[in-house]
């Protein structure tokens, strides 16, 4: 017999998912083959994840009654986005375990606590300074050099909530531009490439690491992820270690991704951590068609208390996000050899909206 924890879900159990977007949808699609049901909670009545889930609830994340009923109907709760309000977690906690847990959310919801956490576990980050007003920007430029990047501490994504500070004279404009919110001023890193490490970790501490993906953004939105990344084997090993160290220190259960800058090349190549996402991640979508088990399957397994699958990579893969009207190319993409299309079932095409992705696989070169 296998040594499943007594708290593990049995087939027929239900995973609650906060958030009904594409990530929630792909979590639900991965739960299906494992015989697990999903109950998706989302304020948007037309959520893509609803259409592949056994149950759904349309309500706000602050709706006490709805959250209680939701939490009581499931065996465990997970989420597709890190900005779950603290009060939502408090309402759920008495009724169902939340995986990943509170620390993963608290650390990643606030850029300053994220930077402090990374420093504590010995992961290099960009030089930065805390900003509560314009004066902090002027002072912070001493630490970061100029130009620097001003980022809100909370609720930033896809380049939203950030602006470049040219010099001290630019402080007033910059602080106004991010809405005068608590922020951090950050050294601008002259990176060679961006990459990310995606780790799945189970409650008993088993951690599996996917091959490092190399990422390319357009207009601050991820456009391409490819494996293998164009980095030294030593750097890939370091990235994997950063991922595991992060997951362990968070006591993380489920998938977590760390975005990393790669600076320099060859013997001078080094990594600087940029951001932690305590959830399945866009740069891990390639795993759906290139490995023995996708990030979504391993997330479901971790959340359910099941053992993880060692994510051997079978192919070289390039994942392309279909953003806005990119999705209009679907008739070509469904006909393209070696291309695996993933569409999110979103009804309205809007510029900048992630509508789907395509994984292009080819035999491994290395």
Q: Is 347 in the site for its own copies (CB under 8 A)?
A: yes
Within residues 127-146, the interface with its own copies by CB under 8 A covers none
Closest separation between CB of residue 48 and its own copies, Å? 9
Contact between 81 and its own copies (CB under 8 A)?
no
Among 158, 220, 334, 350, contact with its own copies (rule: CB under 8 A): 334
Residue 366 neighbours by CB distance under 10 Å: 5
Kindly give, in sequence order, each residue whose CB lies less than 8 Å from that of residue 11, ignoring residues fewer than 6 positions away.
34, 35, 36
Asked if residue 53 binds its own copies (CB under 8 A), the reply is yes
Judged by CB under 8 A, the stretch of 21-29, 79-87, 165-173, 244-252 that binds its own copies is: 21-29
Q: Give me the long-range contacts of 344-348 (CB less than 8 A, separation at least 24).
A: 344/21, 344/22, 344/25, 344/48, 345/25, 345/48, 345/51, 346/22, 346/48, 347/46
The reply to whether 79 sits near its own copies by the rule CB under 8 A is no
Q: Six-digit token pair at 17?
A: 């998912």
Does position 6 bind its own copies by CB under 8 A? no
Should residue 34 be labelled a site residue for its own copies when binding is judged by CB under 8 A?
A: yes
* Residue 14 vs 274, nearer CB to its own copies: 14
Residues 25, 49 contacting (CB under 8 angstroms): yes
Q: Is 11 in the site for its own copies (CB under 8 A)?
A: yes
Any contact of residue 58 with its own copies (CB under 8 A)? Answer: no
Task: Rule CB under 8 A: say whether 307 interacts with its own copies.
Answer: yes
Name residues whose C-beta falls within 8 Å of residue 173's C-beta, 6 or more positions apart in sequence. Answer: none
Nearer to its own copies, 299 or 342 (CB): 342
Asked whether position 350 contacts its own copies by CB under 8 A, the answer is no
Three-class DSSP labels, 245-290: HHHHHHCCCEEEEEEEEEECCHHHCEEEEEEEECCCCHHHCCHHHH
366 binds its own copies (CB under 8 A): no
Q: Which residues are documented as binding site for ATP?
A: 111, 151, 156-162, 186-189, 194, 217, 274-275
Bridge partners for 57 per DSSP? 41
Q: Catalogue the E-assigned strands of 148-203.
A: 148-152, 162-165, 183-187, 193-201
Find the part of the chain contacting its own copies (CB under 8 A) among 91-99, 221-229, 262-270, 335-343. 335-343
C-beta closer to its own copies: residue 191 or 330: 330
Non-local CB neighbours of 349 within 8 Å, separated by 6+ positions: 324, 325, 327, 328, 355
Which positions touch its own copies (CB under 8 A)?
1-2, 4, 11-12, 25, 28-29, 32-35, 37, 50-54, 288, 292-293, 301, 306-307, 310, 314, 327, 330-332, 334-335, 337-338, 340-345, 347, 356, 361
């Amino acid at each position: 017999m296998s040594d499943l924890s007594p708290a593990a879900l049995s087939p027929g159990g239900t995973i609650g998912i906060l958030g009904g977007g594409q990530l929630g949808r792909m979590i639900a699609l991965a739960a299906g083959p494992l015989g697990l049901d999903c109950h998706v909670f989302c304020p948007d009545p037309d959520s893509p994840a609803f259409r592949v889930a056994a149950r759904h609830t349309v309500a706000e994340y602050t709706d006490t009654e709805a959250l209680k009923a939701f939490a009581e109907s499931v065996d465990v709760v997970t989420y597709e986005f890190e900005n779950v309000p603290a009060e939502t977690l408090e309402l759920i906690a008495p009724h169902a375990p939340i995986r990943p847990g509170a620390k993963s959310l608290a650390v990643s919801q606030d850029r300053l606590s994220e930077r402090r956490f990374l420093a504590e576990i010995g992961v290099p980050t960009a030089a930065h300074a805390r900003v509560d007003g314009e004066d902090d920007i002027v002072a912070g430029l001493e630490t970061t050099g100029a130009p620097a990047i001003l980022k809100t501490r909370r609720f930033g994504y896809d380049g939203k909530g950030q602006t470049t500070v040219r010099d001290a004279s630019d402080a007033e404009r910059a602080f106004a531009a991010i809405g005068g919110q608590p922020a951090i001023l950050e050294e601008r890193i002259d990176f060679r490439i961006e990459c990310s490490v995606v780790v799945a970790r189970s409650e008993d501490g088993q951690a599996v690491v996917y091959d490092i993906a190399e990422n390319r953004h357009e207009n601050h939105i991820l456009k391409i992820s490819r494996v293998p990344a164009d980095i030294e084997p030593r750097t890939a090993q370091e990235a994997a270690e950063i991922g595991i160290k992060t997951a362990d220190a968070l006591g993380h259960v489920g998938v977590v991704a760390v975005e990393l800058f790669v600076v320099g090349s060859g013997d001078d190549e080094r990594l600087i951590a940029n951001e932690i996402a305590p959830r399945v991640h866009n740069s891990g979508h390639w795993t759906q068609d290139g490995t023995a088990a996708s990030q979504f399957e391993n997330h479901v397994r971790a959340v359910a208390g099941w053992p993880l699958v060692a994510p051997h990579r079978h192919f070289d893969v390039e994942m392309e996000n279909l953003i806005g009207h990119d999705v209009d190319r679907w008739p070509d993409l469904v006909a393209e050899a070696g291309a695996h299309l993933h569409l999110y079932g979103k009804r309205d095409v809007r510029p900048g909206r992630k509508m789907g992705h395509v994984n292009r696989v080819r035999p491994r070169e290395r």
